[in-house]
Structure 1
Amino acid sequence: METDNYTQSLKILSWAEEDRPREKLLMKGKSALSDAELIGILIGSGTISMSAVDLAKIILNDVNNNLNELAKLSVKDLQKFKGIGEAKAISIMSALELGRRRKESDLPKKLRITSSKDVYDMMAANLLDLPHEEFWVLLLNRANAVIKKVQISAGGVAGTVADPKLIFKTALENLASSIILVHNHPSGNMMPSQADKELTKKMKEAGKLLDIPVLDHVIFADRVFYSFADEGIL
């Protein structure tokens, strides 16, 4: 009877919810999981006498807990462990191969914004020669590198709506440290309208409260642009 209880205690379903690998990942994030727990998710199920995580621990122990050594094992090598069939072995190998490829691939370098010209160059493909007005925001990290560029709205020839609540919601969701506002004037007049000035002032004040400063507001007009920061009126 004691043996049966011990067997049952090893089954993942008998664990507290926060200790089950899948639930733990959802509750605490992927970084909270151990190597054995991550491999346990790949395995999916263990044997009658042990959980998938316990089986993963045995496999890891056999390679001295070295993922690089684990990646060298073949399907047949993995199948030597009781409870690992061909499908599970392939899942483990596939995951490790993806990790290897990710490590080898060059991460795209984020463009760092150092001037209004950098903003112009980054947004030119999106805003030049448009017959209607569009409003965009550049989300930056602490190093002023662009996390993401997001279109907030698109309107007619006369203007478009830029909702501060939507802009800062987007910034908060992407953990931006600062933002740059960008929109175009299809008329070709690069000078800011009174509405542009009022919006910029409102956005600047909101940014101070949220600790997400507005670094600039750039207006596109044909092949020229206007920068609130360059003009010293931000």
Structure 2
Amino acid sequence: MKQPPEKFSIKNWSEDDRPREKLLQKGKAHLSNAELLAILIGSGNREESAVALSKRILASVDNNLNELGKTSIAQLMKFKGIGEAKAISICAGLELGRRRRAEDALELKKVSGSTSAFEILQPVLGELPHEEFWIIYLNNNHKVIQMNQLSKGGITGTLVDVRLMLRRALEVGAVALILAHNHPSGTLKPSQADKNLTAKLTTASAALDIKVLDHLIVTEKAYFSFADEGLL
């Protein structure tokens, strides 16, 4: 009986082509994106190696890791050689990278304006396919005390509980807030609902001597600042 062709497993490659060994010997910085992705998936299919398959996956998103991070498990499984387990590994690896970026952004600590606020918020909100509402809680020096998701919605909107926002502000001793939500559509124009919500949260916060410094609408590469546009 004829044996099926063996998969292109990394362990069968020459030592110079093995990304795991390359990482150990030369360090992670020496690996290409395709080689790092190949480590996650472990093996290719009967026609191509894990690195070749990884290159093809990356090419489908113009070699943009941010775009790859938006790819669903179902979309990844359309590639020959990528089953559910491998697709999950890819998604998990990219999500860890996104969370690391978010934590690194918080090292900025002090918010000096809309640009520094966007640098904190973009890794968290910029690539999401659904809408979320977040609050940055600040002390009197405008340094970040805490950052929390207040609500999570669908593609077109999310609901915000004013009481939860203010309770958390009092718990952490915040004296100022920055409101933020994303627009998965990519539009930066605030809706009337955005404006009404901003006014509602600003008024409620002022009653407790907590100042809303800004409200940012975040997309992948840009933002809209209510403060910069004179809407606060």
TM-score tier, shorter chain, comes to 0.5 to 0.7
Give, as a single letter, the amino acid of the residue that structure 1 aligns with 2:119. Answer: D
Correspondence for 1:179: 177
Residues 168 and 221 from structure 1, CA distance in 2 versus in 1: closer, same or farther, beyond 3 angstroms? Answer: same
Give, as a single letter, the amino acid of the residue that structure 2 aligns with 1:228. Answer: F
Q: Is the 8 Å Cα contact of residues 133 and 150 (structure 2) preserved in structure 1? A: yes
Give, as a single letter, the amino acid of the residue that structure 1 aligns with 2:191. Answer: S
The structural deviation recorded for 1:129 is: 1.5
TM-score, normalised to structure 1, is: 0.53
SS in 1 for 2:179: strand
SS in 2 for 1:214: strand
Q: Is the 8 Å Cα contact of residues 205 and 211 (structure 2) preserved in structure 1? A: yes
Correspondence for 2:167: 169
Correspondence for 1:200: 198
Give, as a single letter, the amino acid of the residue that structure 1 aligns with 2:150. Answer: I
- Matches of residues 209-228 of structure 1 in structure 2 within 5 Å? 209-228=207-226
Q: Is the 8 Å Cα contact of residues 110 and 147 (structure 1) preserved in structure 2? A: no
The structural deviation recorded for 1:222 is: 2.8
Number of residue equivalences: 127
Correspondence for 2:113: 115
**Superposed CA RMSD:** 1.4
SS in 1 for 2:111: coil
Residues 109 and 129 from structure 1, CA distance in 2 versus in 1: closer, same or farther, beyond 3 angstroms? Answer: closer
* Gapped regions of structure 2 (runs ≥ 5): 1-105
Q: Is the 8 Å Cα contact of residues 108 and 120 (structure 2) preserved in structure 1? A: no
| 4+ runs deviating over 3 angstroms | none
Q: Is the 8 Å Cα contact of residues 216 and 228 (structure 1) preserved in structure 2? A: yes
Deviations along 1:54-108, one digit per CA (max 9) or x if unpaired, are: xxxxxxxxxxxxxxxxxxxxxxxxxxxxxxxxxxxxxxxxxxxxxxxxxxxxxx9
Give, as a single letter, the amino acid of the residue that structure 2 aligns with 1:219. Answer: I
Give, as a single letter, the amino acid of the residue that structure 2 aligns with 1:157. Answer: I
Give, as a single letter, the amino acid of the residue that structure 2 aligns with 1:150. Answer: N
Distance in 2, matches of 1:126 and 1:110, equals 14
Correspondence for 1:143: 141
Q: Is the 8 Å Cα contact of residues 128 and 223 (structure 1) preserved in structure 2? A: yes
Distance in 2, matches of 1:124 and 1:225, equals 9
Q: Is the 8 Å Cα contact of residues 164 and 203 (structure 1) preserved in structure 2? A: yes
Overall identity of the aligned pairs, in %: 46
The structural deviation recorded for 1:110 is: 6.3
* Gapped regions of structure 1 (runs ≥ 5): 1-107
The structural deviation recorded for 1:109 is: 6.4
Give, as a single letter, the amino acid of the residue that structure 1 aligns with 2:208. Answer: L
Q: Say if 2:122 is the partner of 1:154.
A: no
Aligned counterpart for 2:187 among listed residues 186, 189, 192: 189
Residues 219 and 140 from structure 1, CA distance in 2 versus in 1: closer, same or farther, beyond 3 angstroms? Answer: same
